């Protein structure tokens, strides 16, 4: 088995005078769920199109399921493009079966598979309804199901969650996990950090057309320190007065962010016990104290922000 379902190095693409992708490196291990994150216009869709062979890169290399010619493995790939669209005159069954036939299934088999998928995902009664009668979200769901029709080894989804209601988002999460359990590799782009955080074995974050981070969700979060959240009945100044002079700055920084009576500050190197012990000793009315790990949202903002910072600031950081 291949180690990586997708390997790309230094991919680049220019449209006129716009450098859409300026050097994307990306590796997705076989059998993993990977998230592809980046701000609007960062180059995600352009990169996905190059990976799949829809666009020819100006530079760099790509390998899809071991092949340098992505279109030659198209029958083993499922793709949900950013631009949605099915033929409005087709029924849901025909629309899915049509994609199956394009991906190399026999039409009869593709129809059977379409019925199975529709029934398993709450659209069994709609199999013979025409796409034009569907809501936008329902049509998107049919298109998503079509992505899975050929039981692909590699599934690439461009913002698959956008436009789906929470129940259908959950259904899609389950579908993606089930595809991984079957052995498929999944790469999806998203702006919703919660999905990436919950589901992904790894992430690639790009900014301004370049890869800025590649690794696990935990490694992304490790870009930021954990923080202590302290909720007390007393104002911060009073707490400082209770603590021994000289030690307070270390264990309860004056720079702690104050949101009402909750204070947030970086986890001190010695942990929270010395501060906790002192606060208990002095009867400071603790209501809550816990360690808060940075979220992927925070890490994403930091990583993308570093890419925006001038070079000298970046080096100094």
Ligand X SMILES: Nc1ncnc2c1ncn2[C@@H]1O[C@H](COP(=O)(O)OP(=O)(O)OP(=O)(O)O)[C@@H](O)[C@H]1O
In this structure, what DSSP letter does residue 74 have? Answer: G
The total of other beta-carbon atoms located within 10 Å of residue 273's CB is 10
Region from 22-30, 41-49, 62-70, 253-261 binding ligand X, contact rule CB under 6 A: 41-49
Q: Which of residues 20, 37, 205, 296 is near ligand X by CB under 6 A?
A: 20
**Contact status, residue 137 vs residue 144, Cβ threshold 8 Å:** no
Is residue 42 at the binding interface for ligand X, with CB under 6 A as the rule? yes
Query: For residues 195-224, which are near ligand X according to CB under 6 A?
Result: none
Site string for ligand X, 232-261 (x = CB under 6 A): ------------------------------
Site string for ligand X, 66-85 (x = CB under 6 A): ----------------x---
Q: What angle do CA 288, 290, 295 make, to 5 degrees?
A: 130
Q: Which two tokens stand for residue 178?
A: 């089930």
CB of 158 to ligand X, least distance (A): 7
Nearest alpha-carbon partner for 252 in 238, 268, 270, 231: 268
CB of 21 to ligand X, least distance (A): 7
| DSSP line for 196-210 | HHHH-SEEEEEETTE
Provide long-range contacts, Cβ within 8 A and 24+ apart, for 276-281: 278/242, 278/243, 278/244, 278/251, 279/230, 279/232, 279/239, 279/242, 279/243
Instruction: Please provide the distance, in angstroms rounded to a whole number, between the alpha carbons at the two ends of the chain.
Output: 40
Region from 24-32, 39-47, 241-249, 296-304 binding ligand X, contact rule CB under 6 A: 39-47
CB of 157 to ligand X, least distance (A): 13
Q: Which of residues 6, 7, 12, 38 is near ligand X by CB under 6 A?
A: 38
Query: For residues 82-101, which are near ligand X according to CB under 6 A?
Result: 82
Write phi, then psi, for 62 (nearest 5 degrees): -145, 150
Q: Which of residues 1, 3, 40, 245 is near ligand X by CB under 6 A?
A: 40
Q: Which of residues 41, 85, 104, 271 is near ligand X by CB under 6 A?
A: 41
Please state, in angstroms and rounded to a whole number, the distance separating the CA atoms of residues 176 and 199: 9
Residue (17 or 312) nearer to ligand X, CB: 17
Q: Which of residues 35, 43, 70, 160 is near ligand X by CB under 6 A?
A: 43
Residues in CB range of 87: below 8 A, 6 or more apart:
95, 98, 131
Residue (43 or 100) nearer to ligand X, CB: 43
Interface residues with ligand X (CB under 6 A)?
15, 18, 20, 38, 40-46, 82
């Amino acid at each position: 088995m291949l180690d990586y379902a997708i390997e790309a190095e230094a991919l680049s693409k220019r449209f006129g005078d716009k450098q859409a992708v300026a050097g994307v490196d990306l590796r997705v291990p076989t059998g993993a769920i990977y998230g592809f994150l980046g701000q609007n216009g960062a180059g995600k869709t352009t990169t996905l199109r190059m990976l799949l062979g829809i666009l020819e890169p100006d530079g760099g290399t790509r390998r899809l399921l071991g092949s340098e010619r992505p279109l030659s493995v198209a029958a083993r790939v499922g793709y949900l493009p950013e631009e949605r669209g099915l033929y409005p005159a087709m029924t849901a069954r025909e629309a899915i079966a049509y994609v199956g036939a394009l991906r190399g299934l026999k039409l009869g088999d593709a129809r059977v598979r379409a019925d199975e998928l529709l029934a398993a995902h709450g659209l069994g009664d709609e199999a013979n309804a025409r796409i034009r009668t569907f809501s936008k979200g329902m049509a998107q769901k049919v298109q998503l199901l079509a992505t899975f029709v050929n039981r692909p080894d590699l599934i690439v989804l461009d913002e698959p969650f956008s436009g789906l209601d929470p129940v259908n988002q959950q259904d899609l999460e389950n579908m993606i996990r089930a595809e991984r359990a079957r052995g498929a590799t999944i790469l999806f782009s998203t702006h919703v950090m919660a999905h990436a955080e919950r589901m992904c074995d790894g992430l690639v974050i790009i900014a301004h057309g370049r890869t800025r981070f590649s690794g696990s969700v935990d490694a992304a979060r490790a870009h930021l320190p954990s923080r202590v959240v302290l909720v007390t009945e007393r104002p911060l100044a009073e707490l400082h007065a209770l603590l021994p002079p000289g030690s307070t700055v270390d264990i309860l920084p004056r720079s702690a962010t104050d949101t009402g009576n909750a204070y947030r500050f970086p986890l001190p190197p010695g942990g929270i016990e010395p501060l906790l012990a002192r606060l208990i000793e002095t009867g400071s009315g603790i209501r809550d104290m816990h360690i808060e790990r940075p979220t992927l949202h925070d890490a994403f903002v930091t990583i993308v922000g570093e890419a925006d910072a001038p070079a000298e600031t970046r080096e100094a950081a």
